[in-house]
Amino acid sequence: MSDQALSAVALMGATGTGKSALAMRLCAQHDVSIVCCDSMQVYQGLDIGSAKPTMQERQQVRHALVDCCQLPDVFSAARWAREAAEFIRQENARGVTPLIVGGSGFYLRALLEGFAEIPGEDAGVRQQLERWQREHGTPWLHQRLRQCDPTLAERLHVTDTQRIMRALGVFESTGTPLSVWQQQAPARVPVDCPVFVLQVERACLRQRLQQRFMAMMDAGWLDEVRWLAAQQLPETHPAMRAVGYRQLLDHLAGECTLEEAVRNGITATRRYAKRQQTWFAHQVPHAVFASAETLEPLLARVWQR
């Protein structure tokens, strides 16, 4: 890879803030491509619940990193960063500065700040960990992690199944704690990428999220969740733990009524949006935080130079 800095612009923000609509207006006007920065939109089949761009929108504006992973495979921030960098390089070569759009801040950070090259897990290790998780539970796995990687175990909550299993998977496969791998100098492609964060007043966003959740249900989201359940993925797969999907899966498993699942899903979505807002405020304080009305002309200037 070339050491020459890549050029992109990022429009980030919490779920439901209207990033996609603003991005579509800008990119259609300036003939710019979109790089989707969403940890669920990468998966084929998760269309409604991830608010994936429609085929019509994808025909109007080119979208990268959508539908690029087929279940049961698991996507990662490192993979996203690599593929995003390659796409940005291709766009830059034809004189285009693409727009990164989404709410997965960790993915964006992997691109801008780099990531340690951590080996993958050996075949069979993940299946063994999933078996342990089913038989003993996540707190038991966390205790096991304390024995082999106390540094990382201290940072992870005892119920953080996904990260605990990832850490154990790396140790079981390599014999080296994940915390040690993470301390290595990250592989980084220099990217010149100003970050803009779309903000919406809290009460307005809460109302939007409820309305959007109900609109997704009307669009057939529950059938999409039935399809997901039929894939028989392990409970630790990110798709099974995604906000909204997880609550509707609980209903299909007979653990609650549909009304309760919808209510729980809306609550979980609102909490997720709040966590996203907090993350962006703390992790990208250098970003420009503003409403769509303020950000639209600022972003347009990028392509008017």
Over residues 193-225, the pLDDT tens digits come to 999 999 999 999 999 999 999 999 999 999 999
d(CA 5, CA 258): 50
Two structure tokens written together for 213: 């959740």
∠ CA 79-82-87, nearest 5°, is 120
Q: Which pLDDT band, with edges at 50, 70 and 90, does 1 fall under?
A: very low
d(CA 200, CA 277): 10
Plot region of 65 (φ>0 → left; ψ -120 to 50 → alpha; else → beta): left
What percentage of the chain exceeds 90 in pLDDT?
83
Two structure tokens written together for 109: 């950070």
Q: Hunting for tokens 């209207």 — which residue is that?
A: 18
pLDDT at 2 over 50: no
**How buried is 297 (Cβ within 10 angstroms: 0-12 exposed, 13-18 middle, 19+ buried)?**
exposed
Considering only CA atoms, which of 162, 168, 159 is closest in space to residue 137? 159
Two structure tokens written together for 84: 């995003």
CATH number of 6-115+187-303: 3.40.50.300
Over residues 126-139, the pLDDT tens digits come to 889 989 999 999 99
The pTM assigned to this predicted structure is 0.83
Radius of gyration over every alpha carbon of the chain, rounded to an integer in angstroms = 20
**Common-topology check for domains 6-115+187-303 and 125-182:** no
* Fold exhibited by the domain 125-182: Histone, subunit A (1.10.20)
Q: How many CA atoms lie within 13 A of 173 on its CB side?
A: 20
Contact (Cβ atoms closer than 8 angstroms) between residue 184 and residue 174: no
Domain spans in the chain, listed from the N-terminal domain onward: 6-115+187-303, 125-182
d(CA 37, CA 146): 33
Which comes out higher in pLDDT, residue 116 or 5? 5
Q: Give the single-character DSSP code of 290.
A: E
Over residues 40-69, the pLDDT tens digits come to 999 999 999 999 999 999 999 999 999 999
Q: Strand (E) positions, the chain?
A: 6-7, 9-13, 34-37, 63-64, 99-102, 191-192, 195-198, 288-290
